[in-house]
Structure 1
Amino acid sequence: MKRTIIALSCVLLAGPALAQSVGEKTGVNSAIGVAPTTADFVKEVAISDMFEIQSNKLAEQKGNAQEKSFAQQMVTDHTKTSSDLKGLVSSGKVQATLPAELDSSHQSKLDKLNKASGKDFSSDFESYQVSAHKDAVSLFERYAKGGDNSELKDWAGKTLPTLRHHLEMAQELGKGPSVGQSRK
């Protein structure tokens, strides 16, 4: 255990660009609360949005009534955040490359959802949505607090309340018909 901590410390201290990429990829940054680099943040957000849009389009077709309602909201909201992010990158305010496709982890989840139906679909979909939104909230919180691009940092902070609401909605999937209704 001590060697693992020492090894991780060495990797994290090796250089900021390397530390962020390795740390973000392995989940170390999230565990210790380190902000991702701008490049990592943009990549993770873009992949997350692609996964949300594609998985929720499946839910619009295959899901129960509650999942369909949730899915419509997710497709709308994640299409907007994806568009916002593309706008920041294309304007030159954010120097990063947008990925063109899902990473292997998200693609395998999407493939599993494609093959599933009924209760299996619901179980996987609900689990993925909670997990994805927990990850997104963590990513956006960390970047909003310590990101290195002021425009992107501001956008992350403004987007956080919506993502927190998405997480609450995802956690309610399978519990009753209240998904999608606003809370006061």
Structure 2
Amino acid sequence: MRYCLHILSLTASLLLGACSPDSGQKDPVAEAQFQNEKRIGDQNVTEKQERDAEFMVKAASNGMLEVELSKLAQQKATHPAIKNFAQQMITHHSEANAALRTLAEQKGLVLPQGLGRDQQETYRQLASLAGPQFEKQYITAMVDAHKQDVDEFEDMSEDAYDGDIRGLAAKYAPILDQHLEMARQAEDQVANLP
């Protein structure tokens, strides 16, 4: 009987180990959210502070994706409006990402160290395209991303619990709005490409 229990226990351990994701395969965005939720839970923090942490993680992951897609556009795009826009996104979002990281460190928040699974899939899809098809999809992705960014940053510029996070959101909301307008203009310029 004890032998059967030992075998059963060993089998359960092996099955659990097989179901556990490899640490190298963890989604960086999900991992950052988990770490923040754990810290917030341990410290008995309010729901508003949890919202602040979620905003910081989402802003960082979106910012990283926008930089990576823009680097890809620098390599693949030929249309001057797209190349110019992509260069500006690399510069501006790299600066914003650095500001997010600095603030997150000050607040004890964890930000993703790489692209999440959804962002990786978006990157792969765009990387598989070329020419005008790539340019159109890239700029459409940037318009969509900036619409979300503007909404989030404007909301958090008023609603963030933490004053520093509120200040960061207020600082970057108008810049992101400018990016959205630039993206729409570039989108108009490539709309009629074959």
TM-score, normalisation: structure 2: 0.69
Aligned match of 1:14: none
8 Å Cα contact 2:140/2:187 also seen in 1: no
1:80 aligns with 2:114: no
- Which structure 1 segments of 5+ residues have no match? 1-20, 22-33, 178-184
Does the CA-based 8 Å contact 2:49-2:162 persist in structure 1?
no
1:59 corresponds in structure 2 to 73
For 1:162, the equivalent position in structure 2 comes to: 175
Displacement, 1:175? 2.3
Q: 1:35/1:130 Cα in 2 relative to 1: closer, same or farther (>3 Å)?
A: farther
Which whole-Å CA distance do the structure 2 matches of 1:78 and 1:36 have between them? 24
Q: Percent identity?
A: 30
Q: Secondary structure, in 3 states, of the residue corresponding to 2:65?
A: helix
Superposed CA RMSD = 2.1
Q: Within the alignment, does 1:145 sit opposite 2:158 as a pair? A: yes
Which consecutive residues of structure 2, in runs of 5 or more, have no partner in the other structure? Answer: 1-36, 38-47
Given the alignment of the two structures, is residue 48 of structure 1 paired with residue 62 of structure 2, yes or no? yes
Matching residue within 98, 104, 123 for 1:110: 123
**TM-score, length of structure 1 as denominator length:** 0.73
- Partner letter of residue 97 of structure 1? V
Taking the aligned partners of 1:35 and 1:52, their CA distance within structure 2 comes to 26
Q: What is the letter of the counterpart of residue 42 of structure 1?
A: M
Q: Residue 27 of structure 2 aligns with which residue?
A: none
Larger Rg computed on CA atoms: 2
**In proportion to residue count, which structure has more helix?**
2
Q: CA deviation at 1:176?
A: 3.4
2:146 to 112, 122, 133: 133
CA separation in 2, counterparts of 1:116 and 1:43? 28
Per-residue Cα deviation, 1:3-50 (whole angstroms, up to 9, x for no partner): xxxxxxxxxxxxxxxxxx9xxxxxxxxxxxx99711101110110111
Query: Distance in 1 between the 2:188 and 2:60 partners?
Result: 29
After TM superposition, which residue ranges in structure 1, 4 or more long, deviate above 3 angstroms?
none
Q: Relative to 1, partners in 2 of residues 1:36 and 1:66: Cα closer, same or farther, differing over 3 Å?
A: farther
Deviation at 1:89, TM superposition (A): 1.8
